[in-house]
């Protein structure tokens, strides 16, 4: 099994495209902030034009289509086909499992690299408390339907204080599901989570005591596993992806961010205006990327400092990695 930290590189790019913000669920940790990003569903023509803005670098760009729930978009199949025509390096749909508009009948496994299903518990009880009644069954049935048609499937488990106790049961659950990739995510304190009165982030000890072991067990089943580093070890260099890699988080109101932790604020560095991708004047997220602090990620300290601890001299006990820095296990 190969363990590696996926280094940031300008040679590859990621485009996270929220084609709408509407959703059939209302997860307690939903990261969509409609005050900031509106409730628009982009028409297909606009999506096609905006994809075209990124087309020159399509061969090095991994495209992830998101919402809200992207399968609520009646033209998602046209979006996928257009993205394939433009030659994106990979195309993924992130879904909550409900697979609206018969999407599986309108595209083929050749059109799409991955269908990525979000599940936040190993039992319906835990998952559905977070994501809504019936959502656990929707994910499992969605995976079975997608696999039976030959699609490659992935799963995303967003870890918080509410569900980390069930992560150790995930290796048994995924056995036999036929998924190809498993992503462990860390709860971001944005959208609904930012207003929660509960402590949602898990401590360093719990994170490091749980995540790598579970990741190993899942990877041992032949599944590629990725999870965010979160806590940098002593001597590990800190890098801000905003400075050294090429990621875009696009929202239907035209805002384009390079850092997902900034999404609750009008700090976006770019905006699509009249079908042109425009860099915005200061002050925006790029001004924050340049700051160097002993805690590592600046936005983490500003937005979600619950994962920081300090010694008696006021020095941080550890540094927080860029939220986009991943550890990957390849079987």
CA 237 to chain centre: 23
Q: What is the rounded distance in angstroms from the CA atom of residue 240 to the CA atom of residue 235?
A: 16
User: Which of 36, 96, 116, 307 is in the footprint of ligand SF4 by CB under 6 A?
Assistant: 96
Q: Is 225 in the site for ligand SF4 (CB under 6 A)?
A: no
Helix (H, G, I), strand (E, B) or coil at 12: coil
Q: Is residue 241 involved in binding ligand SF4 (CB under 6 A)?
A: yes
- What would you report as the CA-atom Rg of the chain, rounded to the nearest whole angstrom? 19
Which residues inside 118-137 make contact with ligand SF4, applying CB under 6 A? 131
Site for ligand SF4 in 306-325 (CB under 6 A): 322-324
H/E segment holding residue 279:
strand 276-279
20, 30, 80, 170: residue in contact with ligand SF4 (rule CB under 6 A): 30
Angle at 172 between CA 170 and CA 173, to 5 degrees: 60
**Backbone torsions φ then ψ of 164, nearest 5 degrees:** -65, -25
Q: How far is the CB of 31 from ligand SF4 (least distance, A)?
A: 6
Under the criterion CB under 6 A, does residue 67 sit at the interface with ligand SF4?
A: yes
The residue from 171, 289, 307, 329 that contacts ligand SF4 (CB under 6 A) is 289
Pick the closer one to ligand SF4 by CB: 15 or 86. 15
User: What's the min distance (Å) between Cβ of 181 and ligand SF4?
Assistant: 18
Instruction: Give yes or no for residue 80 binding ligand SF4 (CB under 6 A).
Output: no
Rounded to a whole number of angstroms, the minimum distance from the CB of residue 188 to ligand SF4 is: 9
Q: Which of 70, 121, 242, 254 binds ligand SF4 (CB under 6 A)?
A: 242
Question: To the nearest whole angstrom, how small is the minimum distance from the Cβ of residue 58 to ligand SF4?
Answer: 23
Q: Residue 186, interface with ligand SF4 (CB under 6 A)?
A: no
Helix (H) or strand (E) holding 172: helix 170-174
One DSSP character per residue, 82-150 reads: HHHHHT-SEEEEEE-S--GGGHHHHS-TTT-SEEEEE---SSHHHHHHHH-TTHHHHHHHHHHHHHHTT
297 touches ligand SF4 (CB under 6 A)? yes
The interface region with ligand SF4, picked from 41-49, 67-75, 119-127, 306-314 by CB under 6 A, is: 67-75
- Shortest gap between Cβ of 176 and ligand SF4 (angstroms)? 25
Rounded Cα–Cα distance for residues 70 and 37 (Å)? 15
d(CA 116, CA 223): 14
């Amino acid at each position: 099994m190969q363990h590696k930290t996926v280094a940031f590189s300008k040679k590859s790019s990621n485009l996270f495209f929220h084609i709408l913000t509407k959703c059939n669920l209302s997860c307690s940790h939903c990261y969509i902030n409609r005050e900031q990003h509106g409730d628009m569903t982009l028409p297909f023509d606009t999506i096609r034009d905006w994809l075209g803005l990124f087309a020159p670098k399509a061969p090095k760009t991994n495209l992830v289509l998101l919402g809200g729930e992207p399968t609520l978009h009646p033209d998602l199949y046209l979006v996928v086909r257009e993205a394939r025509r433009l030659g994106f390096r990979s195309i993924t749909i992130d879904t909550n499992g409900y697979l609206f508009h018969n999407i599986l009948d309108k595209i083929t496994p050749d059109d799409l690299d991955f269908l990525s299903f979000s599940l936040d518990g190993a039992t319906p009880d835990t998952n559905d408390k977070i994501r809504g009644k019936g959502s656990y069954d929707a994910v499992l049935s969605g995976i079975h339907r997608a696999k039976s048609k030959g699609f490659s499937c992935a799963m995303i488990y967003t870890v918080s204080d509410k569900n980390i106790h069930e992560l150790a049961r995930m290796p048994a659950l995924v056995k036999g599901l036929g998924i190809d990739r498993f992503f462990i995510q860390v709860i971001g304190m944005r959208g609904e989570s930012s207003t929660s009165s509960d402590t949602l982030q898990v401590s360093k000890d719990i994170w490091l005591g749980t995540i790598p072991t579970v990741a190993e067990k899942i990877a041992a089943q032949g599944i590629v596993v990725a999870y965010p580093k979160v806590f940098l070890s002593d001597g590990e260099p800190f890098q801000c992806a905003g400075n050294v890699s090429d990621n875009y988080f696009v929202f239907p109101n035209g805002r384009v961010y390079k850092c997902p932790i900034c999404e609750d604020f009008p700090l976006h560095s770019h905006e699509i205006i009249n079908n042109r991708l425009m860099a915005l004047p200061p002050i925006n997220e790029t001004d924050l990327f340049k700051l160097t602090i002993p805690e590592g990620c600046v936005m983490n300290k500003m937005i979600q400092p619950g994962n920081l601890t300090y010694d008696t001299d006021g020095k941080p006990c550890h540094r927080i990695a860029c939220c986009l820095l991943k550890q990957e296990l390849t079987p």
